[in-house]
Amino acid sequence: PRQPAKTLWYDRPRYVYLEFCVEDSVDVKVTIEDQRLVFSCKNADGVEFYNEINLYARVNSKDSREKRSDRSITCFMRKWKEKVAWPRITKENIKPAWLSVDFDNWRDWEGDEEVERAMVEQYAEV
């Protein structure tokens, strides 16, 4: 049986970030479409994870990426409309139990563009 991965998200002026918290992931598949993201993988114990998110707003799927680490898979999706805040990540105004705001990375946007650019460059290097 599949189960959703615990997922954290946060919003920035140009990108929306999602972190799927699965340690030692294998068979990672991330499909980023203009209005939807589909994530699946297995962990070291063979448990299957699957998340499907209809996104709040449109993203540029061609300028969106993911980065896998030992502890999680982070996706960053380029917003179609930059500098427009997303009040939530999902199109529907419901919050799934597995989805939380990443308050460690949530910030006021003022003067944040340089920080964001550095983060994206750091991800892109991998």
Span 106-119, pLDDT tens digits: 877 666 666 667 66
Span 16-25, pLDDT tens digits: 999 999 999 9
Domains (range + CATH), the chain? 7-125 (2.60.40.790)
Span 36-65, pLDDT tens digits: 999 999 999 999 999 999 999 999 999 999
* Other Cβ atoms closer than 10 A to 108: 6
In this prediction the pTM is: 0.87
CB 76 within 8 A of CB 123: yes
Distance CA 40, CA 17 (A): 17
Average pLDDT over residues 51-80: 97
